[in-house]
Amino acid sequence: MNGALRRDESAVSAAVATVLLFGGVLSIIGLMMVSMMPVIEEMEGSVERHDMSSQMTLLAAQTHELSERGMPGDATTAELIPVDGTLAWDSLRGGMWYSATWHEGHELRARGALDFDDQVQIRHGETRIEAVCITDLRQGVERPYRYTLDAGLDAAMVTVLPGLTMPLGPVELTLEYNGDVVEERQLRVDELATFLLSESGDLVLTSTHELTVLALRGEAGASLLIPSDHEPVDDRGHAWSIPMPAGTHRLEVLSDVANQIQTTVDGTTQVEYALPTNEIHTGVTHTVEMNLTGSRVVQLTTSAPSRVLFINNASADIGVTPWPSVTGQYIGSTFLPPTEPGTLRLTNPSEEVVTATWLGSGISVQPGEAEHVAWPPQQVEGAAILDADGSLMVTWAAASDVDAWSAVSGQHVVAAHDTGSLSGADFPFMVDVGHSEDLRIELAGYVSTWNITGPNNASGTFLESQRSTTFDLVGGNSTLSVVDDHPLRVTRFTGQHGMHPLLHDGAERCTAIGTQASGWITTELPWEPMGGRGAVDVERAWQQGTHPSSVEMEVIGGAESESHAVIGTVWAFHLSRLAYDFSSSIDGMEVAFSGGAVVTNHPEFKPYVIVPPSDRGGPGPRFAATVPSFHPADGSLSGGGAVTLDIELVNRRSLASTPAYEIRRGWSEPYGTAIADYAGAGLDASEDWAVYPGRLDLLTDHVGWVPDPSYGTAEAVWHTNGQVIEFTLQLSMLDVTARGALA
């Protein structure tokens, strides 16, 4: 048998070659699979991106229609069917802002209002910036308005603030003392609620809708009323919703031009007309008499922008109120005071003598001093205009004569000398010898250290747990100053009677700037910083008001002949993002919907705009936009599978409807630059832009969005070749309930 065995070299070689060939083929197949997997994954990612982008495009169209034309309670339903990824809500990384200037030749930019720290930057190099006033817009579900009611008040009269749209159901009101609920009520539009205040400390009134609140002591008073639809330029308005007690009252309506005035009580409307006189340098005034047998809500509308003085119990000479200049700020050089018989206190906050003049007379006011003038001037028809050659502050009192000023009973919020607004850091007080007043100091921020110099020497520190104090002022000159941190709001009480309107706790927190610079100016955001905190902490801060949910910033400075005017306004919105996360050849891909825009970072993290934010421009120099603000209901978290979104319009409010000279729009990164570039796509047809890129002053053949020529900016400018823009901005709040995988 050994002789029968032999080695076949050819067979061995063939077998080895076959094995090696098979191994080589496997290696080649493996290498091909390794090289083809990213392509396969990229194709899968492309399918997911295009599938979800088409679904979110339909969602954007439905949302746009609902937010622009819907009424509270209107709803729509959208269904999202993911392929393999997951849907998730993100309330911290979505946001955008608009800015507008109200005077020719002025530019305004802002940044850092949405990054959750306690600073914001503004840029305006044309004139000196005196102050910045910031208001929490309280936009979003479960973010009620909060009103602090002073323990020294007798009552608070409340009605729902009207607007573009009214709440579908009743507004929920809760009165709290030291965190405990004292009283709960429901209030519908045009209804009135009166809260009698008897606690020894401050009470907090919370509401699911913005309110008109009148703080009352005694049985009489007088005050300038806050309009329901204030103009951002000068704080005048066309509509007021006024809660009135029983009795005889007067409303004085002041305007620049002829006015049609309508008052509605219990469904009955009375129409009156105010006509200008033939006398030069006067405004138009008209008085409406009211005689109510019970408490009522009085609706007042005017055809011309107006201011309204409300005198409660007109038979009593009671009431004190600060009076704004024609710019709406409480420091100015031109005023249209009321013609109701009384006395004006003219205060000079500057360091130079200021001379005030009006028809037939005038007076000089020394620096840091005050003068009293009987008003209105005799033998003047209409409302006399008061002019000054410098900055003045005006206060009106229902004093029968000049010498009776110190005895006038009333209450009013004091305007700060450093900001010219109803909060700030510098409050000089002049109290007549032998006369006393109550002074209430309240925190308009998160923390503040202050002191009072002069006969009323005092000091203190306010925190969230201790926000206010009240003490007696004695005769003499004193000054309340903020030593460090945030502004204060100050109210003076004289006698046992008075009345003044209350702002919500997050309104008009004003910080002095007092400088002019061509670069960025940093100022404090007077709320608690939330940088680095989680979504749960931020949401709780939004609900409690310790951090703003969205903001309106008024930049006050020099414009035309005024030292204190609203140069421009910035609206910055925190917007929840609905993001679809999926994997491609790399992780971290998404298609997201936020603020009406559909965006994606697929492929390779390159920001791309699928659907731009909606706006309406033209014909002519016109621009209108509605910002849809999504707010997911509790339980709408994350998940995969089919999802049904029930979208309900909760509220739609007008933020501006007035001529503007410059409009800018910015968007949070990583999509801000892409949205700005997308908006300016029409520039490709502009010869001026091709020849002079970045020169807005030489761009004459294009109307529309232009990316800001600054390097790396995420904002765009609405360019109209220098023409005034008819500007309208609305905010629609949408409550979203997700059912299915997210429920």
HEC string of 598-644?
Answer: EEECCCCCCCEEEECCCCEECCCCEEEEEEEEEEECCCCCEECCCEE
DSSP one-letter code for 424? B
pLDDT of residue 742 exceeding 50, the answer is no
pLDDT of residue 336 exceeding 70, the answer is yes
Q: What is the pLDDT of residue 37?
A: 59
The residue assigned the tokens 């990229």 is 42
Q: What is the pLDDT of residue 534?
A: 85
Both tokens assigned to 530 = 């939330």
| Cis? peptide before 38, omega within 30° of 0 | no
DSSP one-letter code for 418? T
Question: Taken in order 159, 165, 170, 172, is the CA torsion positive or negative?
Answer: negative
More confident residue, 12 or 270: 270
Q: Phi/psi of residue 674, each to 5°?
A: -65, -40
CB 155 within 8 A of CB 195: yes
Q: Residue 743's pLDDT band (boundaries 50, 70, 90)?
A: very low
Which residue, among 523, 437, 439, has the nearest Cα to 487 in the 3D structure?
Answer: 523
CB 344 within 8 A of CB 337: yes
What whole-number distance in Å separates Cα of residue 508 and Cα of residue 128?
Answer: 20
CB 674 within 8 A of CB 608: yes
What whole-number distance in Å separates Cα of residue 49 and Cα of residue 644?
Answer: 19
Q: Burial level of 516, CB count in 10 A (0-12/13-18/19+)?
A: middle
What whole-number distance in Å separates Cα of residue 173 and Cα of residue 145?
Answer: 10
Cβ-based neighbours of 230, under 8 Å, separated by 6 or more: 236, 237
DSSP one-letter code for 98? E
What whole-number distance in Å separates Cα of residue 648 and Cα of residue 639?
Answer: 22
Beta bridge partners of 572: 97, 551
Q: Residue 356's pLDDT band (boundaries 50, 70, 90)?
A: very high
Q: Residue 33's pLDDT band (boundaries 50, 70, 90)?
A: low
> Do the strands 468-473 and 437-443 form a parallel or antiparallel pair, or are they unpaired?
antiparallel
pLDDT of residue 322 exceeding 60, the answer is yes
> Do the strands 282-292 and 589-594 form a parallel or antiparallel pair, or are they unpaired?
unpaired
pLDDT of residue 36 exceeding 70, the answer is no
Both tokens assigned to 299 = 């609706």
What whole-number distance in Å separates Cα of residue 63 and Cα of residue 463?
Answer: 41
Cβ-based neighbours of 32, under 8 Å, separated by 6 or more: none
CB 523 within 8 A of CB 122: yes
pLDDT of residue 568 exceeding 80, the answer is yes
Q: What is the pLDDT of residue 636?
A: 58
pLDDT of residue 158 exceeding 60, the answer is yes
CB 733 within 8 A of CB 652: yes
What whole-number distance in Å separates Cα of residue 650 and Cα of residue 659?
Answer: 28
What whole-number distance in Å separates Cα of residue 577 and Cα of residue 180?
Answer: 35
Q: Burial level of 451, CB count in 10 A (0-12/13-18/19+)?
A: middle
Q: Which of 53-57, 227-231, 475-479 has the lowest mean pLDDT?
A: 475-479
Residue 331 host element (H or E):
none
What whole-number distance in Å separates Cα of residue 467 and Cα of residue 702?
Answer: 52
pLDDT (tens digit per residue) in 585-597: 788 889 999 989 9
> CA angle, 513 as apex, 509 and 514 as ends, to 5°?
135
CB 652 within 8 A of CB 67: yes
pLDDT (tens digit per residue) in 182-203: 899 999 888 999 998 877 788 9
pLDDT of residue 712 exceeding 70, the answer is no
Distance in angstroms between the alpha carbons of the first and the last residue of the chain: 82
Mean pLDDT of the chain: 88
What whole-number distance in Å separates Cα of residue 477 and Cα of residue 475?
Answer: 7
CB 505 within 8 A of CB 423: no
Q: Which of 23-37, 249-263, 523-537 has the lowest mean pLDDT?
A: 23-37
pLDDT of residue 610 exceeding 80, the answer is yes
The three-class DSSP label of residue 672 is helix
Both tokens assigned to 674 = 């892409």
Beta bridge partners of 706: 717
What whole-number distance in Å separates Cα of residue 140 and Cα of residue 541?
Answer: 12
What whole-number distance in Å separates Cα of residue 236 and Cα of residue 226?
Answer: 8
Q: How many CB atoms lie within 10 A of CB 185?
A: 16
pLDDT of residue 617 exceeding 50, the answer is yes
Residue 285, Cα to own-chain centre: how many angstroms?
31
Please provide the DSSP assignment of 582-596 as one string. Answer: E-SSSS-EEEEEETT
pLDDT of residue 4 exceeding 70, the answer is no
pLDDT of residue 45 exceeding 80, the answer is no
pLDDT (tens digit per residue) in 282-310: 999 999 999 999 999 999 999 999 999 99
Please provide the DSSP assignment of 1-17 as one string. Answer: -TTT----HHHHHHHHH
Question: Taken in order 367, 372, 374, 375, is the CA torsion positive or negative?
Answer: positive
Q: What is the pLDDT of residue 261?
A: 96
> Where are the alpha helices (H) located in 622-720, listed in sequence order?
672-679, 687-691
User: Which amino acid is it at 81?
Assistant: I
Q: What is the pLDDT of residue 663?
A: 94
pLDDT of residue 166 exceeding 80, the answer is no
The residue assigned the tokens 């009240």 is 470
What pTM did the predictor assign? 0.91
Radius of gyration of the chain (CA): 31
Q: What is the pLDDT of residue 314?
A: 80
Which residue, among 235, 222, 131, has the nearest Cα to 511 in the 3D structure?
Answer: 131
3-class SS string, 480-545: EEEEEECCEEEEEEECCCEEEEECCCCCCEEEEEEECCCCCEEEECCCCCCCCCCHHHHHHHHHHC
Residue 144, Cα to own-chain centre: how many angstroms?
15
Question: Taken in order 527, 530, 535, 537, is the CA torsion positive or negative?
Answer: negative
Q: Which of 154-163, 330-339, 540-549, 692-701 has the lowest mean pLDDT?
A: 692-701
Mean pLDDT confidence for 118-147? 92
Residue 220 host element (H or E):
none
Residue 703, Cα to own-chain centre: how many angstroms?
28
> Do the strands 259-265 and 268-274 form a parallel or antiparallel pair, or are they unpaired?
antiparallel
User: Which amino acid is it at 44?
Assistant: E
pLDDT (tens digit per residue) in 212-250: 999 999 989 999 999 998 899 999 999 999 999 999 999
Mean pLDDT confidence for 118-132? 93
